[in-house]
């Protein structure tokens, strides 16, 4: 069932009535309403085309800062939104749970990555995180995570038929106490439902 169809039908009715309305003020009101409904329809279609999944697992991180150069691991829940053909993916949100059970949404910018269903290859590009790690706040800009990457924390692995996946990557901090220092990241978990 097309959940956006009622909006499309209402737009068609208004467009037909526009041709029958001689009064300019009424015509302006109808044009305004058509534009408003068209924006809602476009948003509805974009949302309907997405396939949203959640990757639950862990995120490990290590920096090259001399005071913080041992790995730390936290539980995460990463929401990913795939397009209808499952070839492009948006990292929609990242929730990190600290040992005290509090959750922090740290993903500050979203960007489209790529996914190859047949091979399970997943790449998330140009992500920005505001990191609060061991009581130090810093911004990590433009980093990438990939199933084909490898770092000192481990190697990425392509998504299998059960949704298990590992993404490796890293970047350089642009602000905060760790400015100019690098970090390595490894995300390991399972995607549900499997795209």
* pLDDT top residue among 113 and 98: 113
Delimit the CATH 2.40.128 region(s) of the chain. Answer: 51-192
Report the distance separating Cα 99 and Cα 114, nearest Å: 32
Q: What are the angstrom distances between the C-alpha of 104 and each of 76, 100, 122?
A: 10, 11, 24
> 1-51: per-residue pLDDT in tens?
566 788 888 899 999 998 898 999 999 999 999 998 888 787 667 656 678
> 149-158: per-residue pLDDT in tens?
999 999 999 9
> 47-92: per-residue pLDDT in tens?
566 788 888 999 888 889 887 778 888 888 887 878 777 887 766 5
Please give the model's pTM, rounded to 2 decimal places: 0.68
Beta bridge pairs of residue 165: 189
Architecture of domain 51-192: Beta Barrel (2.40)
The yes-or-no verdict on residue 129 having pLDDT over 60 is yes
Report the distance separating Cα 78 and Cα 84, nearest Å: 19
The SS3 of residue 46 is: helix
Q: What pLDDT does 3 receive? A: 63
Q: What pLDDT does 127 receive? A: 73
> 86-102: per-residue pLDDT in tens?
887 766 556 555 444 44
Report the distance separating Cα 114 and Cα 149, nearest Å: 14
Kind and range of the H or E run holding 175: strand 164-176
């Amino acid at each position: 069932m097309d959940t956006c169809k009622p909006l499309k039908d209402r737009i068609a009715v208004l467009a037909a009535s526009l041709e029958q309305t001689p009064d300019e003020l009424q015509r302006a009101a109808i044009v305004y309403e058509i534009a408003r409904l068209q924006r809602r329809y476009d948003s509805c279609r974009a949302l309907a085309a997405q396939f949203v999944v959640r990757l639950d697992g862990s995120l490990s991180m290590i920096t090259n800062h001399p005071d913080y150069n041992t790995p730390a691991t936290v539980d995460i829940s990463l929401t990913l939104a795939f397009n209808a053909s499952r070839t492009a993916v948006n990292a929609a949100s990242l929730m990190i749970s600290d040992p005290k059970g509090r959750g922090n949404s740290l993903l500050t910018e979203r960007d489209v990555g790529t996914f190859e269903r047949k091979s399970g290859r997943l790449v998330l590009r140009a992500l920005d995180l505001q990191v609060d790690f061991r009581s130090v706040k810093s911004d990590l800009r433009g980093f990438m995570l990939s199933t084909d990457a490898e770092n000192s924390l481990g190697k990425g692995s392509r998504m299998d038929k059960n949704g298990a996946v590992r993404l490796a990557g890293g970047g350089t901090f642009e602000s905060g106490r760790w400015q100019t220092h690098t970090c390595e990241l490894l995300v390991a978990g399972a995607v549900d439902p499997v795209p």
